[in-house]
A and B are shown apart, each in its own frame.
Chain A
């Protein structure tokens, strides 16, 4: 929060500070609700692919705590990044840079939720899962937000590990351990993150430059970023099919992953070919939108196969 220029710090100063503090909805916004939904979803898939029975109440409370922990790390991220959020139009209306919540309120909120979610998860399920949740929060808030984000263009590559951990926590909740299934799901999200995020970074590179964030398009250039998007999409194709080879992805998943993986490659090539004007923006936004759909469909297919009895193994 202090490493950017003074002008950024000044921009982060809240304009209105009421003694009462922020609205309830502002505190909820600090938790990044859309990210929380994705975390619940991927953690749930991590639970169901384990094929281990869990008491539904324990499972539901554990999922809730994973979501709260993810929200807490988002809150801490917003507290730390308030200075750069203030100079980017995409984030300027967030509660802290907009002056609706004081930074100290957000910090206290984030810490309380972090500690609370880890403790309740430990009591509800087991301490392996709780430890993994604590690691995820620290990795996102400290390693990614405070260090990597402003230090290297590989920020979202390495930092993407935090977003990829929920399936591992989910499997730890039900089994008390980390298995190959959730490790593969981790790898899928990990490889998926760079092409997903860089597609957005390509069209927001001006904003990132203004904020002093060394995103890949700003450091290596847009063409290098486009090439890397293709490389990651090519690697994602076989990684996406790994659940089939390992026997926990059936026909439905195989078809979804095959078509979706080809779609990711096609969109990445489209981004590579359209490098100027409105076509560039449309291609990048198309890639960004499709990547969300891709991950959603892949995990939905696994969820359907393992919870609705639609699993028909491809091999054996």
Chain B
């Protein structure tokens, strides 16, 4: 006997075309935000290191 409530409705409602479109746009927006965040951290690190980072004993 399966007690998992997720299995009680094995065929969830299909998204309408409008909902699918909205979900896709949200996914793209989240990807863009994550990419921006990565870029911010990368650029910030380079900016904080500054040109002096190259002028060091190796």
* Chain A residues proximal to chain B, CB less than 8 Å: 18-24, 27, 55, 57-58, 61, 64, 120, 123-124
B40 pairs with A120, CB closer than 8 A: yes
* Chain B residues proximal to chain A, CB less than 8 Å: 13, 15, 19-20, 22-23, 25-26, 29, 40, 43-44, 47-48, 50
Chain A residues with Cβ below 8 Å from B15 are: 19-20
B47 pairs with A55, CB closer than 8 A: yes
B31 to chain A, nearest CB (A): 12
Cα–Cα distance between A124 and B48 once the two chains are bound (Å): 8
Interface Cβ pair total, 8 Å cutoff: 38
B43 pairs with A57, CB closer than 8 A: yes
Chain B residues with Cβ below 8 Å from A20 are: 15, 19-20, 22-23, 26
B44 pairs with A61, CB closer than 8 A: yes
A275 to chain B, nearest CB (A): 48
Chain B contact surface mostly: helix
A57 pairs with B44, CB closer than 8 A: yes
Cα–Cα distance between A58 and B26 once the two chains are bound (Å): 29
Cα–Cα distance between A55 and B43 once the two chains are bound (Å): 12
Cα–Cα distance between A64 and B37 once the two chains are bound (Å): 12
A58 pairs with B44, CB closer than 8 A: yes
Chain B CB within 10 Å — which of A20, A21, A55 has the most?
A: A20
Q: Which one of A21, A57, A120, A124 contacts B26 once the chains associate, using CB atoms below 8 Å?
A: A21
Additional 5 contacts, C-beta under 8 A, given A23-B26, A27-B29, A55-B50: A19-B13, A20-B26, A21-B26, A57-B44, A124-B44
B40 pairs with A24, CB closer than 8 A: no
Q: Which one of B13, B22, B47 contacts A23 once the chains associate, using CB atoms below 8 Å?
A: B22
Ordered by A's residue number, 15 sampled pairs between the chains whose C-beta atoms are within 8 Å are A19-B13, A19-B19, A20-B20, A20-B26, A21-B22, A21-B26, A22-B22, A23-B26, A24-B26, A55-B47, A57-B43, A58-B44, A58-B47, A124-B40, A124-B44
